[in-house]
């Protein structure tokens, strides 16, 4: 299908618990991106992949965040030991390579850390 | 590093009128792409319009058009004949051309349509 599928839509975790978010990019899209949108609506870039390889991870808080995009599996974003400030909507987006098209975004996963 | 600035946190317009949302950016690259995204209360990100920097002609999509001024690094969005469904957050975004380049977003402008 022509949509980026993110699961779950909502996730509630106690502080210190692990959270794992999933993203199935559109078939044929070899670029995948993760963004965090906090309550002030600001978008923070986390990480991008070119196929299964990390392209840019400059936005990742590496001590607690990790991400993977393995062949024939949904991409994943994992947060170890969640903190209150991790509460946000996490968006995944995918794109074809070498085009002028903007990215197609998923509908997001709302993570609430209590 | 590239930056995108939207200086209008909020804008409002009467239904059927025209409104312009401002966006400026900073880059040292000569080729890149610019986008406007709409985010309604559902939070779904919807691509409104895109512009390739090497094209001088301003992009147009139905009631949406841009005023791209490359030398001034300005990329404003004009919405004509505003409709109630246009109410949303609007984000301006920049993307380089090499590989899996990230989108760099502005802070967003909340647009309200008054009936």
Strand partners, A6: A23
Q: How far apart are CA B33 and CA B45, in angstroms?
A: 17
In this prediction, residues B91-110 reach a mean pLDDT of 90
Q: Do A95 and B44 touch (CB under 8 A)?
A: no
Cα–Cα separations (whole angstroms), residue A30 to A43, A71, A103, B7, B95: 22, 11, 11, 34, 16
For residue B77, pLDDT over 80 is answered with: yes
Interface contact A103, partner B, CB < 8 A: yes
Contact B58, B65 (CB under 8 A): yes
Of A35, A43, A55, the CB nearest to B99: A55
Q: Mean pLDDT over all residues of chain B? A: 94
Nearest to A108 among B37, B43, B91 (CB): B43
Do residues B67 and B53 lie in contact, with contact meaning Cβ atoms separated by under 8 Å?
no
Interface of A with B in 36-55 (CB under 8 A): 37, 41-43, 45, 48-50, 55
Distance in Å, alpha carbon of A111 to nearest chain B alpha carbon? 14
pLDDT, tens digit (0-9, with 9 covering 90-100), for B1-24: 889 999 999 999 999 999 999 999
Whether residue B105 and residue A42 make contact (CB cut-off 8 A), yes or no, is yes
Q: Report residue B12 as tokens.
A: 């409002």
| A102 interfacial to chain B (CB closer than 8 Å) | yes
Q: Encode pLDDT of A14-40 as tens digits.
A: 999 999 999 999 998 989 999 999 977
């Amino acid at each position: 299908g022509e949509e980026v599928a993110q699961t779950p839509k909502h996730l509630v975790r106690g502080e210190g618990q692990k959270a794992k978010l999933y993203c199935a990019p559109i078939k044929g899209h070899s670029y995948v991106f993760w963004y965090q949108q906090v309550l002030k609506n600001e978008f923070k870039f986390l990480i991008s992949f070119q196929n299964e390889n990390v392209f840019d991870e400059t936005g990742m808080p590496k001590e607690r965040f990790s991400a993977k995009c393995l062949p024939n599996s949904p991409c994943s974003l994992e947060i170890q030991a969640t903190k209150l400030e991790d509460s946000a909507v996490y968006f995944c987006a995918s794109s074809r390579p070498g085009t002028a098209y903007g990215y197609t975004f998923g509908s997001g996963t709302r993570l609430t850390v209590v | 590093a590239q930056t995108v600035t939207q200086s209008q946190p909020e804008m409002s317009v009467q239904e059927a009128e025209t409104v312009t949302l401002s966006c400026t950016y900073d880059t040292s690259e000569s080729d890149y792409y610019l986008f406007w995204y709409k985010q309604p209360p559902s939070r779904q990100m919807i691509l409104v319009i895109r512009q390739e920097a090497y094209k001088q002609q301003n992009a147009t999509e139905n009631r949406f058009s841009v005023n791209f001024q490359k030398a001034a690094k300005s990329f404003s969005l004009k919405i004509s004949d505003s409709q109630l469904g246009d109410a949303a957050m609007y984000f301006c975004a920049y993307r380089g051309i090499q590989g899996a380049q990230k989108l760099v977003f502005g802070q967003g402008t909340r647009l309200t349509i008054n009936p």
